[in-house]
Amino acid sequence: MCIRDRLYQVRGRVGRGAVRAYAYLFYKEPLTDVARQRLETIQEATELGSGYQVAMRDLEIRGAGEILGAEQSGHLESVGEEMFLEMVREAMDELSGEDSGEKPEVDMKVDVEARLPAQYLPDEKLRLRFYRRLSSASEPSDVDAIAAELADRFGPLPDQARHLVAILRLKIVAAAVGLVALAIRGDDLNMAVGGVGAGTLASIAAEFESAGFVREPGRIVERVRFVFPGAAGARMAGISRVEMVEMVLGRLV
């Protein structure tokens, strides 16, 4: 058993039942990048039964090697453990002819800067980890939880990160109602549906019209265009436009 596993086991044995206790773990600087990542894993694994999470994170740090080959050392740094396992699942589904049942990806285009700035989160590997976690979130509440973790660990989110969180929340809701494309440019909102048909889009359009959006004249088929309420006045901030669209779509989920 490696030192990381022993630390996790020791921490799990501090306190029992109604007895509250504390574990203080000390280390000396400087730490290697690998050692720091392993300590961060211990810090993040706070829930009951997080041993699997610890083991999978260790797999990502040290590398998984070849699944079907003899070589058992390697690195997943280029894609990350979560994406690597997702690729394996997709390949297995394709070989077996099974449908993964996932909703189609929503093509999102919003005219705001949405990212995790390097100045806010300088560690590139850690930044990529948070990108992967955010992109794999399946519920808006999951995105909010990751955003709260970012704020707790690195301070208040800058505007670019707040935009990213808002857009990812909107993307999840848009997928839930059957949209395949959504674009916000200035005061214009464009939406498109996939196989759900014009009937669903007509229902979506009616909800937006009731919220004060002005629909472009014409028959609704697969796409619809709106102008934001009050577009003749001062332009709304980017994140406000995103949040407004999410609020209206959220009524249909």
* pLDDT classification of 68: cutoffs 50, 70, 90: very low
Residue 209: predicted pLDDT: 92
Residue 79's contacts (CB-CB under 8 Å, 6 or more residues apart) are 87
Residue 124: predicted pLDDT: 84
Check pLDDT > 50 for residue 72. Answer: no
Pick the closest to residue 179 from 105, 101, 102, 100 (CA basis).
Answer: 105
DSSP annotation of 16 reads B
- For 231-240, what is the mean pLDDT? 58
Residue pLDDT, tens place only, 94-148: 777 665 555 567 889 998 889 999 999 988 888 888 988 898 899 999 999 999 9
Q: What phi and psi values does residue 16 have, to the nearest 5 degrees?
A: -145, 135
Would you state the structure tokens that stand for residue 40, as one six-digit string?
């961060």
Residue 63: predicted pLDDT: 56
Residue 202: predicted pLDDT: 86
- For 156-172, what is the mean pLDDT? 94
Residue 92: predicted pLDDT: 73
Pick the closest to residue 226 from 191, 253, 181 (CA basis).
Answer: 191
Residue 169: predicted pLDDT: 95
* pLDDT classification of 39: cutoffs 50, 70, 90: confident
- How far apart (Å, rounded) are the C-alpha atoms in residues 105 and 136? 12
Residue 145's contacts (CB-CB under 8 Å, 6 or more residues apart) are none
| Peptide bond preceding 158 in cis form (omega within 30 of 0) | no
The dihedral of CA 161, 162, 167, 173: what is its sign?
Answer: positive
DSSP annotation of 115 reads S
- For 168-173, what is the mean pLDDT? 94
What order do you get walking across the sheet with 179-185 strand by strand?
A: 107-110, 179-185, 188-193, 223-227, 214-215
* pLDDT classification of 150: cutoffs 50, 70, 90: very high
Residue 35: predicted pLDDT: 78
Name the residue type at position 230: G
Greatest Cα-to-Cα distance within the chain, rounded to the nearest angstrom? 68
Residue 17: predicted pLDDT: 54
Check pLDDT > 70 for residue 1. Answer: no
Question: Per DSSP, which regions of the chain are E strands?
Answer: 107-110, 179-185, 188-193, 214-215, 223-227
Residue 232: predicted pLDDT: 45
Residue pLDDT, tens place only, 183-218: 999 889 999 887 655 568 888 999 999 999 999 887
- How far apart (Å, rounded) are the C-alpha atoms in residues 166 and 239? 7
- For residue 39, give the H/E element and its range: helix 33-44
Query: Taking the domains of the chain in order of start, what are their residue ranges?
Result: 3-62, 107-250
- For 166-170, what is the mean pLDDT? 94
The domain 107-250 having CATH identifier 3.90.1150.50: the answer here is: yes
Residue 11: predicted pLDDT: 54
